[in-house]
Structure 1
Amino acid sequence: MASRNFGRVAEIMTANMKFMLDKYTMEGSVPFDNDALPNESELRLWNLAQTTINNIKHNAVIMVNAGYSGDIGLILHGRISSVRTKWEGVDKITTINVLDSEDLSKREVTEIAFAKGTLASAIIKQMAGYIGLPVAQMTLNQDYRYQDGYTAKGKVTDIITEVCKDCGTSCFINQSKLYVRNLRSGADGVFALSPDTGLIGSPEYFEDNGIQGFKIQAQLQRRLTTASVINLTCREWSGKLHVRSGSHRFSNTGDFITEVEAIM
Structure 2
Amino acid sequence: MTKLFNRVVEVITGDLRFNNTDLDIEFNIPFDDDLEPNLSDLTIYNLSSTTRNKLKRGQLITVNAGYKDDKGVILSGYIDYVTSSLKGTDRSTLIKVIDSQPFNSKKTLQKSFKQKIKADQLIRELAKAINLKIAVIKLPNNIIYKKGFSIDDVVIKKIQDIAKDCGASAYISRSQAYIRSIKDGDNHRFVLNSDTGLVESPEYFEEEKDGKTIKGYKAKSLLQYRMNTASIIELQSVETKSKVRVRKGKHICNGSSFYTEVEAIL
Query: TM-score band, normalised by the shorter chain?
Result: over 0.9
Mapped to 2, the partners of 1:62 and 1:174 lie a distance apart of: 14
Q: How does 1:74-223 map to 2 (within 5 A)?
A: 74-105=73-104, 107-186=106-185, 188-209=187-208, 210-223=213-226
The one-letter amino acid paired with 2:76 is H
Q: Could you report, residue by residue, the CA deviation over 1:34-66 in whole angstroms, capped at 9, with x for unpaired residues?
A: 111111111011111111111111111111111
Deviations 1:218-255 (A, max 9, x none): 1111111111111111112112111111111124x421
Displacement over 6 Å in runs of 4+? none
Alignment: residue pair count: 262
State the match for 2:249 in structure 1: 246
| Secondary structure of 1:23's aligned partner | coil
* Distance in structure 1 (CA, Å) of the matches to 2:69 and 2:227: 17
Pairing 1:73–2:97 present:
no
Say if 1:244 and 1:260, in contact at 8 Å, map to a contact too.
yes
For the pair 1:44 / 2:47, whether they are aligned, the reply is no
The CA distance in 1 between the partners of 2:257 and 2:75, in whole Å, is 17
CA distance in 1, matches of 2:131, 2:71: 27
Counterpart in the other structure of 1:256: 258
Structure 2: how far apart are the matches of 1:249 and 1:131?
31
Amino acid at match of 1:250: C
Shift of residue 22, structure 1, vs aligned partner: 0.9
Cα gap change, 1:170 to 1:7, in 2 (>3 Å): same
CA shift at 1:105, angstroms?
4.7
Counterpart AA for 1:16: D
Determine if contact 2:139/2:166 at 8 Å carries over to the other structure: yes
- The question of whether the paired residues in 2 share the 8 Å contact of 1:27 and 1:250 is answered with yes
CA distance in 2, matches of 1:219, 1:170: 27
Change in CA separation of 1:80 and 1:225 when aligned onto 2, cut-off 3 Å = same
Partner residue of 1:225?
Answer: 228
Instruction: Indicate conservation of the 8 Å contact 1:133/1:176, yes or no.
Output: no
SS at match of 1:5: coil
Determine helix, strand or coil for the equivalent of 1:87.
Answer: strand
Identify unmatched segments of 5+ residues in structure 1: none
Deviation for aligned residue 1:208: 1.4
CA RMSD of aligned residues (A): 1.8
Residue 128 of structure 1: CA displacement? 2.9
- Give the TM-score, by structure 2 length: 0.91
Residues 1:42 and 1:138: Cα distance change in structure 2 (over 3 Å)? same
Q: 1:26-37 counterparts in 2 under 5 A?
A: 26-37=25-36
Residue number in structure 1 paired with 2:63: 64
1:154, distance to aligned residue in structure 2 (A): 4.3
C-alpha spacing 1:155/1:11, structure 2 compared with 1 (3 Å): farther
> Structure 2 stretches of 5 or more lacking a match?
none
Alpha-carbon separation, structure 1, partners of 2:164 and 2:236:
34
